[in-house]
Chain A
Amino acid sequence: MNLIDIIYKKYKTVSIVGMAKNAGKTVTLNKLIEDAYDRDIILGITSIGRDGESKDIVTNTEKPMIYVPEGSFVATLAEKLDEGDAKLEIIRVTEYKTPMGEVVVGRVRCGGYLQIAGPQTNRGIKEISDFMLSLGAEIVLIDGAIDRLSSASPSVSEGTILATGAVISRDMNRVIEDTVHTVRLFSLESIIDINDKTVVKEIMEKEKIGIVDTFLNIQYLDIKTAINSGKVIGSEIKEYTKYVVFPGALVGKTLIDIISTTRLFKQVEFIVRDGTKIFISPKEWLKLVKMGVKVKVLEPINTLAVTVNPYSPQGYYFDSFEFLKKMRIFIKDIPVFDVMLGDE
């Protein structure tokens, strides 16, 4: 099975996000482009914001240009057009600006290498993806921002491919643990009840932490973010409290402070927008879950596949087969690929 088979005819917008820099995100993207080319699938290719360097300053590895085949739709920067050798028909110069210039959408007239660059906002990405679909793209691939899982947000794409790799740790178990944790957070249970959902959405839009009781009354707390606010939240949890809604990030300390302040936390569900908003280590998370903390999301993330990269740019590497095999043992319901090795 090819990676593309998981997507084709099922999902129209797919983001590729990396657990860390050099986790193999670009290799995964290349693989998808190749697969699509073999199958004559028309692609749209965009990315979420880029820091404007063709070299990754931190690890000094080359940020490769992407080979874009003829007929695909791409987002790039006007200033970067001459650097690659792909020939574009310009379709639109968008209003989206990056520090490096305006985002341009074009159709590839003659295949070649190109720097992919899209808008920096989720809304912008969504708009560009829809535009490419309207032009005739069958799938739009969204190259997520380096080291930013937030590109997996359901507000951007219908599905997500998570790239993970040896770069995360020299300890293979640690890599697997972190990956499993992320996949779990991505697939957290979402609120189903329509009325509850409406109330939660309302709170998210207000960008204030809100407490909802069983009659769906909202009480807003006047704290900007959840950081260091656990005690305040804890003291506001009452017998009838149903949800505590966090419009921003949720960190472990907040939950720990809440459970140390009130015993009522077990009846409460803590709600975040999606799994990318949770910043809690695997160990801490498991402890909290065991103690009875329930976290749900407004929008679940559809993780379509996990790709593994056994190499780290720091020079160490894992045994490909062992790494893949072990990862598959722990991630059962989602297909795992080693894009370096090729297809199954």
Chain B
Amino acid sequence: MSFLFDDTTKKIIGFNYVMDKIKVITPFGYQLKEKLTPYMPGEEDILKDELDRVETLINLIKNNDKEFVRIKILLEHFKDLSNSVKNAVKGSTLTLIELFEMKNFIFLLKRLHEEISKLDWDIPLDMRINRIEELEALLDPRNEGIMTFYIYEEYSDRLKEIREYKKKLKEDIKSEKKKIREKIKKDLKLNVNLKGEIIVSKDDTELIKKIGGYPFLIYSSETYMNIKYVIKSTPVIDRLEKELEKVERMEEDEEYNIRKGLSKEISKFSSDLLSNMNAIGKLDLTIAKAYMAIEIDGVKPEVKNEYSINIVDGRHIEVEDFLKENGKTFTPISIDLSEGVTCITGANMGGKTVTLKLIALLSAMVQYGLFVPCKRMESGLNGFIYVSIGDLQSIDKGLSTFGGEISKLKYALTKKDDRGLILLDELARGTNPEEGYAISKAIVNFLKNSKSITVITTHYDNIANSDDIVHFQVIGLANVNYDELREKLLNDKIDGIEVIGQYMDYRLKRVTDKSQVPRDAINIARLMGLNEDILKEAEEILKN
């Protein structure tokens, strides 16, 4: 069993949504993010360090926003060259493009290093960017400081000689051909194109005849209407072109040798290159975490060794964003949890499920080294987080709601003393009320002395009806003036559910007096206009 049980859990509690907000830029950051694992109990100190780093970065970003925009732009340009580096180590020769990319990488390192040096930041070792000056010099032999790459003559005298010779040969050929071109122009009044071709219409038989006996042009190809002639080689041009061909081959060989040499040089710095890639990844991910923390208005959680969870004004980011889009606000939720069982009761629509998701999400975020969306959060680390929420049923396996629930729950129960966070929504809701109550009560009793923190939401008040179980209730409509609300419903003729939603107080209240349990279900039914006789009778039944 993994920390968050499975991917469905990650999705349901909104963890994937939060992870999507961590916007890494580099391939290295991306790889690191994909491999991210939670900090487990016993790793409190490393987690605190990580959170401190994020905190440091948040402060740096807030004070140096322009610098960070530049840093992000630089990060965008990094490509993953680890394969090129590994190939170079294996003795492969890097291609022109790979060498170009390497030069870019080296120069980007330099610029990123410069940019970071401007910040007042004692950067942790594993995020430190180190320039590789030897490679800067190697890949920029002319010290031009520009990021383009070419197999420069500076790499070898031989290449320089070859290229100079090649240039001379080309010029010689050009001037030889130019002589002929000019001669053709003079003799035949014809212009030779760049490729040394002349196209003549077949109609022009006189010209064709003339060209036939002309020493400097030779037939190349024809269409139905035209004949293409090219400049005929002279022995001089022939010799020059043969020589040029040879020199071009020599140039290729020499370029290969140079690339091979450069690759070997680069391979010597493989560990510097790879550790820089790791550092860029770590830096990128930590910056992304910091930006996310700022975006969600998060705070640094206080990590404790003892096992309890205390959330003040927590917000569920995904639900909050959804509400915001619809012009509504999220009511922050506070809750204290410790080992044993906590029950949350309250009417439908009271946000009990969201509360469970919020507890799961914020706890998971803490353990992934993220800032959390709340005013304050103290937390011990969970050995695992198990969530059973309505839509988790494994319908595809043909199991009933209840069966699906139990088949997963039994795994979690075997781990009850591994200080896990067990969150159960409407336990046994899929079965008949009497049995559901009995099973729920039994599971609660089973878990109440465990080393885990269990939170269950339920309709059955009696489950919470025990001194060793903490009972929270959604405040719901308890403080609402029903007459006023009913009036509003009648007058405005708007959707009742919408209005109730507006008046619903989603906050939690610790219940100590067991008799003071409000009957929100009856109240809601009354607001929605259910027959008063029925409601009266229901209240009678409850009294008995």
Residues of A within 8 A of B (CB): 33-34, 37-38, 67, 69, 78, 81, 85, 88-93, 104, 107, 109-110, 310-311, 315, 317, 319-320, 340-342
Chain A-chain B contacts (Cβ-Cβ < 8 Å), number: 54
Write out the residue numbers on chain B whose beta carbons fall within 8 Å of the beta carbon of A317: 223-225
Further 16 A-B residue pairs, CB within 8 A, beyond A81-B97, A90-B96, A90-B150 = A34-B194, A38-B194, A78-B95, A78-B97, A90-B97, A90-B100, A93-B97, A93-B100, A93-B104, A310-B225, A311-B223, A315-B224, A317-B223, A320-B201, A340-B226, A341-B199
- CB atoms of B199 and A342 under 8 A apart: yes
A89–B225 CB distance below 8 A: no
B181 to chain A, nearest CB (A): 12
Judged by a CB distance under 8 angstroms, whether B136 is at the interface is no
Q: B193-215: which have CB < 8 Å to A?
A: 193-195, 199, 201
- Interface residues of B, Cβ cutoff 8 Å to A: 79, 95-97, 100-101, 104, 147-150, 166, 191, 193-195, 199, 201, 223-226, 248
- Cβ–Cβ < 8 Å partners of B147 in chain A: 91
Closest beta carbon of chain B to A240's beta carbon, Å: 34
Sampled A-B contacts (11; CB under 8 Å): A33-B194, A34-B193, A34-B194, A38-B194, A69-B194, A81-B95, A88-B96, A89-B150, A90-B100, A90-B148, A320-B225
Q: How far is the CA of A31 from the CA of B325 in the complex (A)?
A: 57
Distance A110 CA – B199 CA, assembled complex (angstroms): 26
Whole-angstrom CA separation of A73 from B295 in the bound complex: 43
Q: Check if B148 sits within 8 Å of A89, measured CB to CB.
A: yes
For B96, list chain A residues within 8 Å (CB): 81, 88, 90
Tell me which residues across on chain B come within 8 A of A78, comparing CB atoms: 95, 97
A311 to B193, CA, bound (A): 20
Give the contacting residue for A311; candidates B79, B166, B191, B225; CB below 8 A: B225
> Whose C-beta in chain B lies nearest to the C-beta of A89?
B150
B148 touches A91 (CB 8 A): yes
Which residues of the other chain, B, contact A34 by a CB distance below 8 angstroms?
A: 193-194
With a CB–CB cut-off of 8 A, which chain B residues contact A88? 96, 150
| Contact residues in B for A342 (Cβ distance below 8 Å) | 191, 199
Expressed in whole angstroms, the Cα–Cα distance for A34 and B96 within the complex equals 28
**Docked complex Cα distance between A13 and B448 (Å):** 75
When C-beta atoms are compared, the residue in chain A nearest to B152 turns out to be: A89
CB distance from B532 to the nearest CB of A (A): 46
Distance, CA A34 to CA B149, complexed state (A): 27
Least Cβ–Cβ distance between A186 and chain B, in angstroms: 29
Give the docked Cα–Cα distance between A157 and B79 (Å).
31
- Please determine whether B224 and A85 come into contact, CB atoms closer than 8 angstroms: no
Q: In the complex, what residue of chain B is closest to A31 when comparing beta carbons?
A: B193
Q: How far is the CA of A303 from the CA of B147 in the complex (A)?
A: 38
A181 smallest CB distance to B (angstroms):
26
Write the nearest CB–CB distance from A175 to chain B, whole angstroms.
Answer: 16
Which residue of B has the minimal Cβ distance to A106? B148
Instruction: Tell me how far the C-beta of A315 lies from the nearest C-beta in chain B, rounded to whole angstroms.
Output: 8
B149 and A90 contacting across the interface, CB-CB below 8 Å? yes
Question: Which of B104, B194, B195 gathers most chain A CB within 10 Å?
Answer: B194
A310 to B203, CA, bound (A): 15
The 6 closest A-B CB pairs, nearest first, are A89-B150, A90-B100, A34-B194, A78-B97, A91-B148, A317-B224
Give Cα A34–Cα B191 distance, bound, in whole angstroms: 13
Q: A90-B149, A90-B150, A311-B223 are in contact. Are A37 and B100 (CB under 8 A)?
A: no
Cα-based distance from A92 to B77 in the complex (angstroms): 11
Taken together as a complex, chains A and B put the C-alpha atoms of A317 and B100 apart, in Å, by 47
Question: Are A85 and B148 interface neighbours, CB within 8 A?
Answer: no
Could you say which residues of chain B place their CB within 8 Å of the CB of A37?
194
Closest A residue by C-beta to B76: A95
Across the two chains, which residue of chain A brings its CB closest to B101?
A93
Report Cα–Cα, A320/B95, bound state, in Å. Answer: 47
Report the nearest A residue to B98, measured CB to CB.
A78
Q: With A67-B194, A81-B96 as known contacts, state yes or no: A109 contacts B223, CB within 8 Å.
A: no
Asked if A109 and B191 make an inter-chain contact with CB atoms under 8 angstroms apart, the answer reads no
B248 engages A85 (CB within 8 Å): yes
- Residue of A with least CB distance to B193: A34
How far is it, in angstroms, between the C-alpha of A267 and the C-alpha of B81 when the chains are bound? 62
Interface centre among B97, B147, B150, B225, by most chain A C-beta atoms within 10 angstroms, is B97
The residue on A at minimum CB distance from B100 is A90
- Per the bound structure, the CA–CA distance linking A107 and B193 in Å amounts to 23
**Contact A340/B224 with A90-B96, A109-B150 known, Cβ cut-off 8 Å:** no
Q: Which residues of chain A are near B148, meaning CB under 8 Å? A: 89-92, 107
Q: Which residues of B contact A341 (CB under 8 A)?
A: 199, 201
Please name the residue on chain B nearest to A319 by beta carbon: B225
Which residues of chain A are near B191, meaning CB under 8 Å? 342
Instruction: Name B104's closest neighbour in chain A (CB-CB).
Output: A93
